[in-house]
Amino acid sequence: MFHIKICGIRLKADIDAVSQAGGDAVGLNFFPPSVRYLDPASSTTSELSAYAGRCGLYRVGVFVNKPADLIREVIDTVGLDAIQLHGDELVTDIAGWVELGLPLIRAVKIPGHKLTAREIEDRVRPWTEAGCHVLLDADAGSAHGGMGRSLDWDSLRDWSEQFAPVRWVLAGGLQPENVAEAIRVSGARRVDVASGVESPRGQKSALRITQFCERARNAWG
């Protein structure tokens, strides 16, 4: 779906920065407690999404514990290309989200310490078997991500080599200063960043977005 996703964009200037830097996806955050929250009922949000679409960016709506009917309302109002489930959703409820007709990305939140490949796979497999892409993020408790916590990249490399190929995205604590190393160690082919390209928190930095995208692309060669 994408290689570089900048999550939590809030302004057209953010979209311009992502597009010019070579990112190919943006995350629209619909989790009200987040500093990156966008009101789906606001015309500004619809205009932002439409602008991202015109710029050729893949638009991912980020939801936390929202039922399918409410997500459908957001899709119809805002316009999205994919759905990211980032809360405590259960795989047993997958049918409702599948019926929405968009690709599903499930954020699988795991501890930052070293894990075995099997421990990671046990968390991932129910979702991949249900047809989801997976985004591996650090467990941030009730904050549900965006806290800049990193994963153990060596553990992810072991898991990926043993259980690949699966469709997965690396998130959690990425920033321009470490994204190349994270890619090299983990073997990730897709990355997602929110707080790591902000200064101050909640405000995207065009410079940091550019640095992040350049260093990720260079790491992939």
DSSP string, 18-64: HHHHT--EEEEE--TTSTTB--TTSHHHHHHHHHHHHTT-EEEEEES
Indicate the pLDDT class of residue 139, thresholds 50, 70 and 90. Answer: confident
Is 108 within 8 Å of 137 (Cβ atoms)? yes
Write out pLDDT tens, residues 143-155: 445 456 799 999 9
State mean pLDDT over 1-12: 96
Indicate the pLDDT class of residue 112, thresholds 50, 70 and 90. Answer: confident
Averaged pLDDT of the chain: 94
What distance in Å separates the CA atoms of residue 41 and residue 39, rounded to the nearest whole number? 5
pLDDT value, residue 32: 96
What distance in Å separates the CA atoms of residue 86 and residue 115, rounded to the nearest whole number? 21
Q: Omega into 40 within 30° of 0, i.e. cis? A: no
pLDDT value, residue 94: 95
pLDDT value, residue 144: 44
Write out pLDDT tens, residues 85-109: 999 999 999 999 999 999 999 999 9
Strand partners, 59: 26
Write out pLDDT tens, residues 26-67: 999 999 999 999 999 999 999 999 999 999 999 999 999 999
Indicate the pLDDT class of residue 141, thresholds 50, 70 and 90. Answer: low
Nearest to 31 by CA among 131, 134, 146: 146
Residues of the chain above pLDDT 70, percent: 95
pLDDT value, residue 147: 55
